[in-house]
Structure 1
């Protein structure tokens, strides 16, 4: 383990080195490393990093080692990775971050794990998340929290917290994440990573996500480079392509078109945005202007009702999880073991159930607002989160529900819009807080314009290389 008592990482002089996933593919094809060596190095790094950051939910190290010796035609064949613990992996339990039931090993891969398998990614195990993915920090009561390796006194964000901590800390180059309110982009911002929430339907999701009345969850990865995220989307598209979406294709460089950028720094609710977050977002706007793009101020393209409607829908989902737990996970499900945030959301869901049908209708129509913005602009630029990374405890569900939900709503004020509209959005690590922690800035585009986001992400990455934890 390297770093200081606060900042830790597992990068070293082994088969993984400092390479991203595309770099490891190049190393494998050149014969400089073997698939077995990559898996062994990733397992060793995970074992050193996990006691500090707490990202591991379940492991299949021995199975992964065996798989590394089997031939595979996938582009990423031999590159080690993880799947988030709300998606099924054959032989591993899917615990969803809760103690309300005891999960049994999955009898088959879910859709996400099947895509990973087709691409050749070697799954080392499952990563931890907040309970049912409902919070932006994974701090289960009575268990270790998931910490960012950038400063272990602070949260790794959520809900894809374990994946982000392992990628940032160097255990693997990329890992599965999914996003129902910011759960790819928030941990990416916190951990200095690239976090793209693809357009709705771009990447297959497991059945539970597909059956939601408003399909807010999108699956993807967190990575340390734009080219890794672009390569993942390219390969995932070769495995599965939604015919209703324009193809992403092979994006390897910036686009030539100069873009019209809408700059937003205010939340829908008027919740405060930290001055250093505003400054980082405005600085990103100046960077885009220096690259020839046109940037102008705008307002968040969403109806005033979106924040309350989204919370009512979120609460409805928590209520459905709580009420249907025994049917979903068996008679051993005990909803009293859910944390205070889940219980509080479920109670809100029950008391406001009468509002949900109309809230769903309004949420389903909200894409009209972003469509109007994108009629005059190519890209929306805004903060990923409204403040710097909180310390462990600030979002702990051991606190009263009212305290946690107020803090969550203030901090996670920007990301839910694209979950509701289905538009793509990416968080890029373009700034650093006064405390030395990464700050993410978010770019979003119209539905299906994932390629455009990747092109502009390549451009800003080249102009302002992302900070590396090992430096």
Structure 2
């Protein structure tokens, strides 16, 4: 499958065989093959390429705590999946590893930045794969490839040991899966604090796996059809969300149109400040470590603009103001959700785009921004507020591309998401909806 869809950034076959030869630990996933994402996820002595030519020979000196937890659960790591450079866009295309294609239609994107993970799972290679999400990077490829993708609460899953938060707390780790069950079981195997954690999400009352079969009760759901910035929504994406709302009502839930009042421009700019500054700091560190000057021969054009236009020019006060803005947004959204258990919306405002539309090698950076922002206007707010959010594969377009529907909960309340997801999976099962190739 990899030659057809290009989801494998690097092979760790020998590493996997050695793990099997040593004897695998007894866990919930003993012997299940597994792919880590090739972005800020480390195996000591192995390369983590970050989707970039600048890191093509970067060998980790430590193993990520999350990788250790995956292995303790019995998973067998045999490779790493493709990602755009530093996870900076919603498609998985890079000069380092090429274009990852959508198994439903190879002319279209698999989403990003966990597109390699989604393509591997959607094409039937493995049942689940590691993914990360700093602005929608679990939910976007899940929607594009017809998978279940849950972004956990901030502080739920470890990110260390080199640092215990990414992009100022916007980023987190989990997985894309076919089934709700597997997502819940993986979160059970990986969540919890690690040494040095600044914060940790609230301890769940029971295993997440148990929540999948529990009745969710009568939920109050806010239906948000217009994104905070007022971006137009494709009619088929909107129809999928409306259909999901009707399904929820048929299951006994209360659904009403409502949305929090957020300044999309201000929080969007704040997010760019934090991401741009984080990327700039990493690039500076890489330049010092390698002695290789930063330029278009080692990083992509849009990445370079992040460095020069967002990271290099910002002051410490800009960072503090951005952080304060995102905290204000978190409070606003939390207050709104005192009246609702969940927010329902489209995952994406457009169907999966054609390849080449929003990659980081665009000559016109402003055109890149004009293309990527209308595609993903719903997902990023929940990274900024730290709340859990999931894309559920409930829709299909007339052109045969998947359409995800997004549900987002209060901070720390993955339990409600898993209960509803389990109920939706039973009411409108998607397990047999696979690309013909799979």
- TM-score normalised to structure 1 length: 0.85
TM superposition shift of 1:90: 3.0
1:422 aligns with 2:386: yes
Per the alignment, in what secondary structure is the counterpart of residue 98 of structure 2?
coil
Change beyond 3 A, Cα 1:324–1:459:
same
1:360 aligns with 2:323: yes
Query: Alpha-carbon deviation of 1:321?
Result: 3.0
Number of matched pairs: 422
CA spacing shift, 1:244–1:225, aligned 2, 3 Å:
closer
Are 1:295 and 2:255 matched, yes or no? yes
Equivalences for residues 378-389 of structure 1 within 5 A: 378-389=341-352
- What SS does structure 1 have at the residue aligned with 2:321? helix
Alignment partner of 1:175: what SS? strand
Deviations 1:397-447 (A, max 9, x none): 332111111211111111111111111001011001121011111001001
Mapping of residues 322-337 of structure 1, within 5 Å: 322-327=283-288, 329-332=289-292, 334-336=294-296, 337=298
Answering whether residue 15 of structure 2 is matched by residue 55 of structure 1, we say: no
CA gap 1:259/1:421 in 2 versus in 1, 3 angstroms? same
The aligned counterpart of 2:425 is: 461
Whether the 8 Å CA contact 1:423–1:446 is kept in 2: the answer is: yes
Of 438, 444, 456, the residue aligned with 2:408 is 444
Distance 1:209 1:238, change over 3 A: closer
Tell me the distance in 2 between the aligned counterparts of 1:298 and 1:79: 42
The residue correspondences of 1:40-119 to structure 2 (distance < 5 A) are 49-69=1-21, 70-86=23-39, 87-119=41-73
TM-score (norm 2): 0.91
- The Cα of 1:132 is off from its aligned counterpart by 0.4
What secondary structure, in the 3-state scheme, does the structure 1 residue paired with 2:337 have?
helix
Paired position in structure 2 for 1:194: 148
1:279 aligned residue:
239
Structure 1 residues 217 and 268: CA distance shift in structure 2, 3 A: same
Which structure 2 residues correspond to residues 239-254 of structure 1 after superposition, within 5 A?
245-247=202-204, 249=207, 250-254=210-214
Looking at structure 2, the residues matched to 452 and 375 of structure 1 have their Cα atoms a distance apart, in angstroms, of: 14
Unaligned runs of 5+ in 2: none
C-alpha change, 1:238 and 1:310, in structure 2 (3 Å) is: closer
Query: Tell me, which stretches of 5 or more residues in structure 1 are unaligned?
Result: 1-48
- Helix, strand or coil for the counterpart of 1:153? strand
* d(CA) in 2 for partners of 1:243, 1:136: 27
CA distance in 2, matches of 1:97, 1:196: 22
2:225 alignment counterpart: 265
Corresponding residue for 2:277?
Answer: 316
Partner of 2:106: 152
